[in-house]
Chains A and B, each alone.
Chain A
């Protein structure tokens, strides 16, 4: 059993049960019962190891209603998210995943994206732009990802970043129809086999094309390529786009020429922040824009609160959209800072929070903007 590798973590949690992981857990906030918190899931893992509980669909519901945001692991010396992932891997092996997860995995396997979209559509958004396909003499591969490629709002973010990179005179290209899912969500959902397949496919492709440096639109892809791909012996220089923008603003390649008079708050994406400890680059970019007043939400950086879209939930939507769903809680928190713009650095966060702003009736008061969109308007 995969979880046996985490026996010490699981038993440690169950002899202590301090519960420090619980209070800001997004799924606990939504569902309210202990079984939907980090500590509760560690109890479930303990009961499974103790033979008190068999793996069932009931367990799967609790285990998959987790955004893998990493808050619990940040609050604890035990690797709670790794235990949850191991539980998911166990559930996948036994065919006990919820139908929404099954569909996501099947579609990603068959179509390279979760929405059954044809490959040809992947690069449609580039048609009206000067963004070109990657060639071996390019400095960077611009990895767009599923959301940036297929979702209309994601397209806008992808275009905005493309415009900035062109403006900065950078040499880069996209893979277009040849781009595949990076596999971060597949990995987080516990489908090890499919993740290996996607990763190997991507690694082979990158090597064949002579890719050395990658810039990603999504922190999810950044996380997979930075932390998972090297485990298979392949190291690509990978940056999240905010890190690249920070660099080209610092070295003067990108000149910010306009003002933006606005009070802005920034939401840390989990896979950029907690998973990869990048808290400064997005803030530095915003602070470099004249006229922006950056204010922080109560929960920021390592204590940031997930938008609810991580760990596959952007696709599976186990949280529904009720008043206590994470994205709605988060936009209310942003609104309470008095900000007019909630800046994000992740297309998934952008869509999750943009949806929430509409449901909360705050469209007139709070706008969700990706940092790439903000920067593209001031260069």
Chain B
């Protein structure tokens, strides 16, 4: 056994791990470790964080035994779900044991009457929804990574989908109960199937966005919904981000209940118009003054959805929006965004990821500050000499209109100077978000991102100390995903 684990009693530990999960489910071979050394986070093309060993348990009991051993031997433990993270949350930056959660992918119960699902957390979001669909149900949490990302990671990173406007995008709106392996190896259940409870502290919510630093979530009970009978989608272009946001707010104020509101900068919208050109050989010319496009959907009974749509159209007229008439273009957007078969990559345009790393930052500021943040993004693009990739896009992460804003850039990750420059760009934009009363991460987590050093800027000293005390209480030996989120 190589690496940092060599400092521990490696042979004995390896033998014990084999006993716990079975010899075929543990490896310290470099060939098996390398694929766990990188994710989608912003690092140079040559960077790798090697774990010392990977285990693939199949039960909560096995995980508890692995964690108990790690706690006794003071070995870092890093849970690994889909490995699609954008902030390095699943990377073993301090070596140790990667626990690959994909072995726990069993659905325990789909409760149609009470509209809940209880599942092991290694299942992908996509597979969960395939199973629910057979019962005419769905979990509206809809991240673009859903083909690979797991339910456990959805909770631990509190990532986002586009249906937050109606259903809530944060896991706070879905999570009813969890089973967790604590860093000491104890297995605890928090919450229940009850839709609401004030009888204890809502500790199941403590694990939302915990990024694997407080324990390993092994089971979850989630609120699910009936599949809508009908859905209508439209795209409306606006001359500014501000007017698009204004239209969104007026729609909510009018009492409409859109399923999703997705506002994207022109650069992002052009991605779809180019696809439209490739697939249908037709050209959509956006208005010259266009800065943003809004994709909006209404769902439910056809009459109700269509009525809401007709009212929304009046609001768009009043707020300067122009409804896109090209239905194929709207369908391309929706298919790409929500079934995300990644067909876009099969087309000759855009080639971004074949030459650049598509990266950026997830921020949330009070709604009125979004235009200012967007302006800052434009200024910083020039200052740091970056192209905007798909620009900025935003959708609601909580009920109604809580902006989850993603600002994107393309980075040549084979140039380490450019990677460092990109980190400075992200750092400065995140700092401005704090100045606007916002946060440095709204859906991807902090992990080892360039923003990690801003934690003491966003949070007061005492607030951070409280978080550290809480972490220490649960994880006295700091074995759970050390080096992430809170600095040591």
The interface of chain A, by Cβ under 8 A from chain B, is: 8, 11-12, 14-20, 22-23, 31-35, 37, 39-40, 43-44, 47, 50, 52-53, 56, 58-59, 62, 75-78, 298
Q: How far is the CB of B55 from chain A (nearest CB, A)?
A: 10
Is B124 in the interface zone, CB < 8 Å from A? yes
- B147–A20 contact, CB under 8 A? yes
Instruction: For A14, list chain B residues within 8 Å (CB).
Output: 38, 45
- Give chain A nearest CB distance to B131 CB in angstroms: 10
Within 8 A of A (CB), among B2-40: 24-25, 27, 29-32, 34-40
CB distance from A237 to the nearest CB of B (A): 29
**A residues within 8 A CB of B124?**
23
Chain A minimum-CB-distance residue to B344? A77
Given A12-B354, A23-B147, residue A34 in contact with residue B40 (CB < 8 A): no
Q: What would 27 A/B residue contacts be, using CB atoms closer than 8 Å?
A: A11-B414, A15-B353, A15-B413, A17-B39, A17-B83, A18-B148, A18-B342, A20-B147, A22-B148, A23-B126, A32-B25, A33-B32, A33-B35, A33-B56, A34-B32, A34-B36, A35-B27, A35-B32, A40-B35, A44-B34, A44-B35, A50-B46, A52-B34, A53-B30, A58-B31, A75-B342, A77-B346
Q: From residue B134, how far is it (CB to closest CB) to chain A in Å?
A: 9
B416 contacts which chain A residues (CB < 8 A)?
Answer: none
Measured between C-beta atoms, what is the minimum distance from A14 to chain B in Å? 6
Give, as a whole number of angstroms, the nearest-CB distance from A209 to chain B.
Answer: 40
Using known A-B contacts A17-B38, A44-B34, A62-B31, determine if residue A11 contacts B45 with beta carbons closer than 8 Å.
Answer: yes
CB distance from A19 to the nearest CB of B (A): 3
Give 6 A-B pairs besides A12-B354, A14-B38, A76-B342 with Cβ atoms closer than 8 angstroms: A12-B353, A15-B413, A18-B40, A19-B84, A32-B102, A47-B48
CB distance from B476 to the nearest CB of A (A): 31
**Which chain A residues border B48 with CB–CB below 8 Å?**
47, 52
Q: A11-B45, A32-B100 are in contact. Are A43 and B148 (CB under 8 A)?
A: no
Cβ contacts under 8 Å, A8 to chain B: 354
Identify the 7 closest CB pairs spanning chains A and B, nearest first: A77-B345, A19-B148, A34-B35, A40-B35, A43-B35, A20-B147, A15-B357
- Check B130 for interface membership: any CB of A closer than 8 A: yes
A16 and B358 contact, Cβ closer than 8 Å, known pairs A33-B56, A34-B100: yes
* A16 touching B40, Cβ below 8 Å: yes
Q: How many A-B residue pairs have CB under 8 A?
A: 104
Asked whether any CB of chain A lies closer than 8 Å to the CB of B286, the reply is no
**Looking across the interface, which residue of chain B has its beta carbon closest to that of A13?**
B353
- Measured between alpha carbons, how far is A76 from B347 in the docked complex, in Å? 11
Contacts of A78 in B (CB 8 A): 345
- State the CA gap A33–B102 with chains docked (Å): 9
A298 & B342 in contact (Cβ 8 Å cutoff):
no
Contact B54 A33 (CB under 8 A): yes
Q: Determine how close the nearest CB of chain A comes to the CB of B22; give it in whole angstroms.
A: 10
In the complex, which of the residues A33, A34, A53, A76 contacts B345, with contact meaning CB atoms closer than 8 Å?
A: A76
Residues of A within 8 A of B100 (CB): 32-34
Query: Is B145 located at the chain interface by the 8 A CB criterion?
Result: yes
Query: Chain B residues with Cβ under 8 A from A53's Cβ?
Result: 30-31, 34
A275 vs B45: C-alpha distance when bound (angstroms): 31
Please, which residues of chain A bring their CB within 8 A of the CB of B45?
11, 14-15
Task: Tell me if B169 is interfacial: C-beta within 8 Å of chain A.
Answer: no
Tell me the complex Cα distance, A20–B344, Å.
14
User: Which A residues are CB-close (under 8 A) to B189?
Assistant: none
Instruction: Kindly report which residue of chain A lies nearest to residue B342, judged by CB atoms.
Output: A20
List residues of chain B with CB within 8 A of the CB of A50: 46
Q: B320 near A: Cβ within 8 Å?
A: no
Cα distance, A14 to B413, chains bound together (Å): 11
Q: How many residues of B contact A (CB 8 A)?
A: 44
Specify which of A17, A22, A33 is in contact with B27 (CB 8 Å cutoff).
Answer: A33
Closest A residue by C-beta to B134: A298
Instruction: Output the nearest chain A residue to B345 by Cβ-Cβ distance.
Output: A77
Minimum CB distance partner of B124 in chain A: A23
Give chain B residues whose Cβ lies under 8 Å from the Cβ of A52.
34, 48
**Residues of chain A within 8 A of B40, CB atoms compared:** 15-18
- Residue interface bits B393-414, CB-to-A below 8 A is 1, else 0: 0000000000000000000011
Q: A20: which of B39, B46, B148 is its contact (CB, 8 Å)?
A: B148
Q: Which of B89-147 contact A (CB under 8 A)?
A: 100, 102-103, 124, 126-127, 130, 145, 147
With A16-B40, A58-B29, A76-B342 as contacts: A35 and B127 at CB distance below 8 Å: no
Q: Which of B354-369 contact A (CB under 8 A)?
A: 354, 356-358
The answer to the question of B82 belonging to the interface, with a C-beta cut-off of 8 Å to chain A, is yes
Chain B residues within 8 Å of A11, by CB: 45, 414
Q: Which of A12, A31, A35 contacts B31 (CB 8 A)?
A: A35
- For residue A77, which residues in chain B have a CB less than 8 angstroms away from its CB? 342, 345-346
Residue of B nearest to A41 (CB): B35
Instruction: Report the bound CA distance from A58 to B29 in whole Å.
Output: 8
- Chain B residue numbers with a CB within 8 Å of A16 are 40, 353, 357-358
B104 → chain A closest CB, angstroms = 11
Q: With A47-B34, A52-B34 given, is the CB distance from A298 to B354 under 8 Å?
A: no
Query: How many Å lie between the Cα of A40 and that of B354 in the bound state?
Result: 18
Considering only residues 334-350 of chain B, those with a C-beta below 8 Å from chain A are 341-342, 345-346
B332 → A minimal CB distance (Å): 16
Residues of B contacting A31 in the complex (Cβ-Cβ under 8 angstroms)? 24
In the assembled complex, the CB of A301 is this many whole angstroms from the nearest CB of chain B, namely: 13
Residue of B nearest to A24 (CB): B147
In the assembled complex, the Cα of A224 lies from the Cα of B369 at a distance in Å of: 60
- Across the interface, name the chain A residue whose C-beta is closest to B46: A50
- A15 and B40 alpha carbons, distance in the complex (Å): 6
Within the complex, what minimum Cβ distance (angstroms) separates A357 from chain B?
Answer: 24
Q: How far is the CA of A31 from the CA of B25 in the complex (A)?
A: 8
Using CB atoms, name the residue of chain B closest to A43. Answer: B35
Residue of A nearest to B414 (CB): A11
| Contact (Cβ within 8 A) A17 B84 | yes
Q: Given A16-B353, A17-B84, A43–B346 Cβ distance below 8 Å?
A: no
Chain A residues lying within 8 Å of B145, measured Cβ to Cβ, are 18-19
**Smallest CB–CB gap between B122 and chain A, Å?**
11
**Chain A residues near B356 (CB-CB < 8 A):** 15
A7 → B minimal CB distance (Å): 10
Q: Chain B, 222-244, contact with A by CB distance < 8 Å: what is the 0/1 string?
A: 00000000000000000000000
Residue of A with least CB distance to B30: A53
Cβ of B182 to closest chain A Cβ, rounded Å: 25
- Docked Cα-Cα span, A37 to B32, in Å, equals 11
CB distance from B35 to the nearest CB of A (A): 4
A98 to chain B, nearest CB (A): 14
Closest chain A CB from B344 CB (angstroms): 8
Q: In this complex, what residue of A is CB-closest to B37?
A: A43
Residues of A within 8 A of B56 (CB): 32-33
- Complex Cα distance, B103 from A58, in Å, reads 23
**Which residue of chain B lies nearest to A75 when distances are taken between CB atoms in the complex?**
B342
Q: Are A298 and B32 in contact (CB under 8 A)?
A: no
Q: Taking A15-B353, A19-B82, A44-B31 as contacts, is the C-beta distance between A32 and B103 under 8 angstroms? A: yes
Residues of B close to A35: CB separation below 8 A = 27, 31-32, 34-35
CB distance from A114 to the nearest CB of B (A): 27
Within the assembled complex, what's the spacing in Å between the Cα atoms of A75 and B84?
Answer: 15
Chain A residues closer than 8 Å to B54, beta-carbon distance? 33-34
**Bound-state Cα–Cα, A15 to B24, Å:** 29
B31 touches A56 (CB 8 A): yes
Q: When the two chains form the complex, which single residue of B147, B354, B358, B414 contacts A19, counting CB atoms closer than 8 Å?
A: B147
Residues of B within 8 A of A75 (CB): 147, 341-342
Task: A151 to B420: give the CA distance in the assembly, Å.
Answer: 61
Query: In residues 130-182 of chain B, which contact A (Cβ within 8 Å)?
Result: 130, 145, 147-149
CB contacts under 8 Å to A, within B35-67, are: 35-40, 45-46, 48, 54, 56
